[in-house]
Structure 1
Amino acid sequence: MRKRRAVLISVAAAVLLSAAVTFVVFAVGKTDAACGCSVVPDVRGPAQDAAVRFEGLVRRGDVGGAWAMLSDEAKARYVDPAGLRPVLDRLGASLAGSDARWLAVDEKVRYDQPSEVVVVRNETAPLLVLVPLGHVGEERIDPGVPPLQLTAEGDGDGVRVELPDGDPDRTRFVVIDEAEQIMLPSRQQLTERAERLTWRAPRRGPVVVIGIERTDSGPRVGVATVNG
């Protein structure tokens, strides 16, 4: 009788152990799958840091250092450091007397090649930063982002924007306030190329409106300031 009872206890314990292992395996497998699908790499932080480094080179007049940070496309456009110098002179003039921060406002994350991040600093010419995942410090800069014609004016609590030569369906808008907070506005179409942008907080003081149009050949960026 005792032997039979011991056998029954052993069988019950094995069943409980098997159920526990099955539950753990199922739970762990489910958790791993969920985490694997939700991980998004941070490319904005490295892009902003790269823009700060590039700004330092511009302020010091280090054309050689700035040339080393350029993307291949930018180097092909400017040919040599001498061709880059006028661009850096204009950028340096726009940086003078301002302590605003570089802010990443748009990104195109890519895994098989460097991600594209658009970085702006008030009305300073925007930068396109190429961020290779897993290679911090190897970011590359293109200071010659093609311009997007953008006009903006106050419209009650929001702003009215117009894209004379742009495609609103391919354009994303970002609004930056005096505290350098980035806001993604709601959009109301007014005409084929004009829209009204609004956001949760009432508009107080000047704001900077950024328009990023994604084209097949890369982004075009427009910047406009609306005074309070």
Structure 2
Amino acid sequence: VLIFRTMGTAIQEHVKGDCKILVVGNPAHTNALICAHYAPHLPKENFFALTRLDQNRAAGQISEHLSVSVADVRNVVIWGCHAKFPDVEHSVVRGKLLSQVMSSPEDRNWLNELFRQEMQTRGAAIVKARKASSAMSTARAIVDHIQDLHFGTRPGEFVSMGVWSDHQQYGLAGGLIYSVPVVCLGQGRWRVHSDLKLSQTSK
């Protein structure tokens, strides 16, 4: 808490009001919330928690399973915080819904069981295998997050970001930093993609 309280105070005293703050260190959502609390002159919408690493990992797992390029996998949603719930019900692969591409019982079993298990243990598995952290993957995710925020997402695409909750997003309580699907409009502007219909599993 002390580290991010100090950072929030420094942000409050030294940065411009249009500065965007991306918090990476876990628990990123809690840390971003602490920063935002101690930098009240910045709009809460300017604070983000990184969940793009989890989105990228999910897309990577799916692309490997299907033997396609990771660029072909879009609209994976990370709900909540760090890798807690990867939602692929709205994902598309080469323009088709993932549910159409992965319709066999074997594929469904992989999605419902192995995929989520691998997602929740992926970070620890990388550290164990490499004897080092996944710093490059995190750096790539930071670049992706900032690029989308600055240049905008492609038509029909949304990405996962931990953002400020204002009571209007999928029934979430207000006053939280929570990962939801986001459409980036460019030049640091964004909006929650609020049109997704959630299954009982997702809820």
Report the TM-score when normalising by structure 1.
0.27
Q: Which of 1 and 2 has higher RCO (CA within 8 Å, sep 6+)?
A: 2
Structure 1 or 2: more helix by fraction: 2
Identify the structure with the greater strand proportion: 1
